A and B are shown apart, each in its own frame.
Chain A
Amino acid sequence: MNLTTVSVNGLDYTKAVSPSMTLLEFLREELGLTGTKNGCDSGECGCCSVMVDGKPMLSCLMLVLEAEGHKITTIEGIAQGNDLHPVQEAMVEYGAIQCGYCTPAMVINGVHLLENNKNPSNEEIKECISATVCRCTGYNSIERAIHSAAAKMKGGCHG
């Protein structure tokens, strides 16, 4: 076992972990942050995406020991209390959520896109969405949601 300190959603957690533990297992099993989903455990589906220093990464492909010294943001760290991020709000409003299993990862990727690109093109939005497998929506409503969130964020409603 190795002692490690990982910063998750602004708090430092120090835990003794097995060196083979993935960041995904750490979040779900050690911290109980089950918003991050495990759809394949091998980097294919994207459902386990979290932000590592502001960039989306697949937490199933990252060992928790590699996360030491980095800032991890999970879906639980996106909304401010009850205030949803514009991407989250738009996902709800545009019906971009059906079964919801890919939703946390879609939000992580969408938030990253819009916080780094105020005017994303259709292609850039598709690229962003392609990071995650969604089997319910056909992606169209997610695209509309991200477009709408981009417009809203440009209007200066959030952050």
Chain B
Amino acid sequence: MVDLTKGYPDKGYKIIGKPVPLIDSRAKVMGQALYTDDIRLHNPLTIKILRSPYPSANILSLDTKDALALKGVKGILTGADFKNTFGVLTISKDEPAIARDVVRYEGEPIAAVAAETETIAEAALKLIKVNYEITEAVLDSKTALKPTDRPLHPELNKENNLHKKVLQEFGDMEQGFSEADVVIEKRFRFASINHGFTEPHATQVEIDNKGNITVYSATQVPHYLHMAMAEVLEIPEHNIRIVKPHLGGGFGGKSDPFPHEMIAAKFALDLGRNVKIKFTREEVFFSHHGRHQTDLTMKLGFSKEKGITALGLDTLIDGGAYGSFGIVTTYYNGVLLQGPYKIPNFRFHVNRMYTNKPMCGAMRGHGGVNPRFASEVLLDMACAEIGLDPAETRLKMIHKENTLTTNEFRITSVGLQNGLKEAMRRTKWHEKYGKLPFGKGIGVACGFFISGSALPIHWNKLPSSTVRMTIDHDGGVTVYSGATDIGQGSDTMLAQMAAEVLGQSLGNIKVISADTRITPVDLGSYSSRVTFMAGNASRNAAIRMRKILVEAACALLDIDPPKYEKPEKSKDFFRQGGLKPDFEQGFLGPNPDYSDGFIFEDGLIRSENHNQSVTFLEAVEKALEFEGILQTSGTYRAPKLGGKFKGAGAGLSPSYSFTAFIVEVTVDSETGFIKVDKATCAHDCGFPLNPLAVNGQIEGCIHMGLGQALMEEMVYDNGATQNPSFLDYKIPSAFEQPVVDIVPTFSDDSEGPFGAKEAGEGILAPIIPAIANAVYDAVGIRLTQLPMRPDRVIFALEKAKKDKGATS
């Protein structure tokens, strides 16, 4: 196996920075890892959901008598059984567990049956009589803008189907465009796409018949589910325990509370029985929550001397029937353009519309992916028009470290420049760009992304992340974290933190995660927050533990314990991390320097000054003498960031990752087929904690970006999902995946745990425009609609031929 640490600085760590397999991979490769549907509860009822065949209708009547009379049917729920609606955002709680009176999308739950067997439940669905009055559906976001007397959500008191409008302007757009050598405006369109995780949604609920339920669910957000469920069921949160078993992929698609989770919990409570529900693949597509269908027009002003002088965009995003994460998506469609380059004059206007389609929500790269495509293609066009090298031009424009963006995002570490330079060298960029034969092309694009949202969804003063840590009498270390391992390896990352700080092997660290009864609150796995936030929390819990053990060792060695002085608060707004831990405060600080004159290794705790040691276990036993248990907590809090204007909180993050792609393609001008031959990626994730896991994220993002670029799209006809299966919703196979070259790219992030930033999402966005720019280099066409299907390639080629004929 090649040395994955090559090219990165050696910081002398034992576990951090080393390629380690995910700690649950052995259980997974043997088939032993239990996913939600693998759990076997005692005598569970099976739940099936009746779904609306119409995208827009009034429910005139609902007769469940015959279904309820069927032998083996134990209960039926309808919209009337749920008073409260819910939503992941407190400002957008618009979704009912079951449609009440009104249907807003095809596939919406109309009723649910709990029965002794799946066969009986399915038979019962057929006996439910629903009398629908079909109403006119709002099928696209343009129509949704028109005034109507019957909007999807009349409670919002709007005259049309606008869910959220965001308009922000910075600088002077007119001035910016007047300074430009070239101004280009273009319209771009993007299909909605689905996460395509392999494990369908599943939930099981166990009841103890004392009013408590344990909800096993395939969720990325146990904490948000916990809160939403308590509100919908109208019971205290302490009666509910949410457990996330192994999870078969999320990508944002399991980051909302879902109707089926509410339905399952209500059945369990009402019937006093354990229950289970699992979606078919069709149901996964029906409930969707994927990337928004988008129609955007972007205008770029570019100057040879100054770079980007102005960028403006008008965007319509099709949210579907409910809110989901949509308000955040609306902001992210604008603010995630604030990197990786400085944009002095910037304006965005985004409208998220309600339509009678399955709702859209968060998906890997959330809100930033589609506008990134547009801006990187326009930048390429500007370079082509002026005759600049698009890679060299980008190199010059990448944010400098420790600067502010125009909308006051704090940019701290940036390591992309060296990565992009190396990617250019490796790909022989200068020998290839503009010089390859017709049909072969090379393209470049860059991007950036948040390392976790600095602000919580539910406003509160709690830490963003908290980790509890214990050491047993035999020296075994356990990390308790609410962070949600969805396959990205967060459990492994948490264990690495503890192992490094406490000088233990990875095997001596157990991780218990995502169980609301025993793990502290963590906001969940979304916005690429887990490494930065839960990672810092785990590291800080371990640092507190280390202090206890050092003091115990000192007592045993009869030496003075180290003095921990309160560190002076950092005056550098851009560098808050790396200080000594502040043990007088609840929060030790981000990424504190825990060097204390002791070395933890080989089962020993050794004083460097006295060259004396005790065993780790002796220190543990000593520390246990008084308290009886050895337990610490660690937290992460984002620093105070951002401007004072309305909406300034959107996109704020303690740190940002940066990515560049150089992509090489072959375009068959006869079939219109685009083959991505090679993707060279430079991703600055600070210091990679686990190169094996980081590379896996990069390759996975390439796969998903490739899918959106070339083939993936949700197809609707009159609101009806046309391709709810993996046969009709195509995702790339091993044959489409390109050769991948990962350029070691890093920076020194003072606040990320051991210098790390995000590596799960930001990578996805820039590969898509890099492909489009390579297609231009190959055959001279600008594709502005995703996916870049062969028919669109052929159409564009023919149009280019005609245009050429017309001008010559």
Contact = CB atoms under 8 A, between A and B. Distances in A.
Interface string A77-114: 01100001000100111110111111110010000000
B198 A39 contact: yes
B401 interface: no
A135 B249 contact: yes
A63 B718 CA distance: 36
B219 interface: no
A107 B740 contact: no
A134 interface: yes
A94 B30 contact: no
User: Which of A33, A74, A140 has the largest number of chain B CB atoms within 10 A?
Assistant: A140
Contacts of B695: 95, 141
Given A37-B35, A47-B198, A137-B696, A97 B28 contact: yes
Contact of A95 (B32, B40, B693, B702): B693
A86 B246 CA distance: 24
A31 to B, nearest CB: 12
Nearest to B698: A138
B761 interface: no
A58 to B, nearest CB: 12
Interface stretch (B90-98, B101-109, B467-475, B726-734): B726-734
Interface stretch (B8-16, B486-494, B594-602): B486-494
A71 interface: no
B25 A136 contact: no
Question: Interface SS of chain B: helix, strand, loop or mixed?
Answer: loop
B726 A37 contact: no
Interface residues of B, number: 56
Contact of B34 (A34, A93, A137): A34
B561 interface: no
Contacts of B19: 95
Contacts of B278: 38
A89 B552 CA distance: 41
A103 B281 contact: no
A38 B703 CA distance: 22
A93 B489 contact: no
Given A35-B30, A38-B37, A133-B198, A95 B703 contact: no
A103 B28 contact: yes
Contact of B29 (A32, A39, A47, A97): A97
A148 B246 CA distance: 27
A42 B281 contact: yes
A90 to B, nearest CB: 9
A88 B30 contact: yes
Chain A interface bracket (under 10, 10 to 19, 20 to 34, 35 or more): 35 or more
A69 to B, nearest CB: 24
Contacts of A93: 1, 21
B30 A98 contact: no
B638 to A, nearest CB: 27
Contact of A136 (B26, B249, B692, B727): B249
Contacts of B21: 92-93, 95, 97
Nearest to B35: A101
A153 B38 CA distance: 32
Contacts of B200: 38-40
Contact of B251 (A76, A91, A107, A135): A135
A134 to B, nearest CB: 7
A55 interface: no
A138 B487 contact: no
Contacts of A33: 31
A41 B724 CA distance: 13
Nearest to A33: B31
Contacts of A148: 1
A37 B199 contact: yes
B58 to A, nearest CB: 33
A129 B699 CA distance: 15
A27 to B, nearest CB: 10
Contacts of A47: 198
Nearest to A94: B1
Contact of B246 (A45, A92, A100): A100
Contacts of A101: 35, 197-199, 248-249, 487
B35 A133 contact: no
Nearest to B199: A101
Contacts of A143: 734
Contacts of B248: 37, 39, 99-101
A75 interface: yes
Nearest to B19: A95
Contacts of B519: none
A91 B488 contact: no
A22 interface: no
A85 to B, nearest CB: 9
B49 interface: no
A34 B32 CA distance: 8
B196 A34 contact: no
A37 B200 CA distance: 10
B735 A126 contact: yes
19 contacts: A28-B38, A34-B34, A42-B281, A44-B727, A45-B198, A45-B726, A75-B31, A88-B30, A95-B695, A98-B249, A99-B250, A99-B487, A100-B248, A104-B31, A130-B733, A130-B734, A137-B696, A138-B699, A140-B699
Q: Sort A-B residue pairs by CB-CB distance and give the 8 closest, nearest first.
A: A35-B31, A99-B487, A101-B248, A100-B28, A75-B31, A138-B703, A138-B699, A34-B38
